[in-house]
Structure 1
């Protein structure tokens, strides 16, 4: 009887150790590149790189070039000036609820550094005589902001192909720091590759 229990325990040990080894052989991809499929509809383009740093955490950076049609989504216009974002660099941190190696909901916090054209304002220019002359024109400046996002990531083709749906909103800090202007960024359907 003791011999049968020993054989049974040894068999269970072999089965569980072989299952554990199979689980360890599943590749864990730490890098991901992706792009937004909806931005080309607005004459725009973005590219994101993400690196998994822990079981549920990832960090990354994204760059976006915006066309003229993207400004129609921007809520950062006032009654006096027209604002247009030219490009944006976004470092981000993601938290995956089910872990970075699985299909999962995620939350994202990101910063933003963007170049903005402000049209319709008075701009000062110094003429040849050294006098300041004001005219209505365009001023280009760099502005920072913060944002947050939520989404869901699907993993396909042995966890290599990524399909994401995300909603994100960012606010820029104006030069006078009184009004915060919200804009939809990092929003859309994204496709990517993990390696």
Structure 2
């Protein structure tokens, strides 16, 4: 009878130790690099780096260079001025509902620092005599903003490849007139690699 209990305990011990080893062998990737597949269609490019901090939270940094084709979809224009974003640097924080190591819905909050060209407005120039002369032209300035996004991430090929669909909206704070300019950013289909 004691012999049977010993055999049963040994068998249970081997099963539980093999299950524990399987869980330990599952790799946990903490870094991710990705890019938006749709931006090259508009002569633009972005690159994203993300680092998992804890189970459901990640932080990252994104940079985007926008081309002329992207300005057709910009919402940063008004009746008087056209605003075109040249480039943008975006630090972000993500919260994954199912955890960062699984396919999951996520919410994202981000800041934005962008260089903007504003055309169609009056610019003051000083002539040789020292008088102010106004002419219609383009001025370039840096603007900051905040935004939020929502998306879903698929993990493929042993959880190393990433496919994401995301929608993000950013509001720039124009320091000249304290106007809020909304724009769709960090929106599209992204592909990436985890390591």
TM-score interval for Structure 1 and Structure 2 normalised by the shorter chain = over 0.9
Q: CA RMSD in A?
A: 1.2
1:118-137 alignment runs, 5 A limit: 118-137=118-137
Partner of 1:111: 111
Provide the rounded CA distance (Å) in 1 between the counterparts of 2:35 and 2:125: 40
SS in 1 for 2:141: strand
TM-score normalized by structure 2? 0.95
Moved over 3 A (4+): 176-179
1:15-54 alignment runs, 5 A limit: 15-54=15-54
Provide the rounded CA distance (Å) in 1 between the counterparts of 2:133 and 2:16: 81
SS in 1 for 2:124: strand
Partner of 2:76: 76
**Shift of residue 124 of structure 1?**
1.1
SS in 1 for 2:54: coil
TM-score normalized by structure 1? 0.95
SS in 2 for 1:10: helix
Provide the rounded CA distance (Å) in 1 between the counterparts of 2:136 and 2:150: 40
1:157-176 alignment runs, 5 A limit: 157-176=157-176
Provide the rounded CA distance (Å) in 2 between the counterparts of 1:48 and 1:189: 13
Partner of 1:89: 89
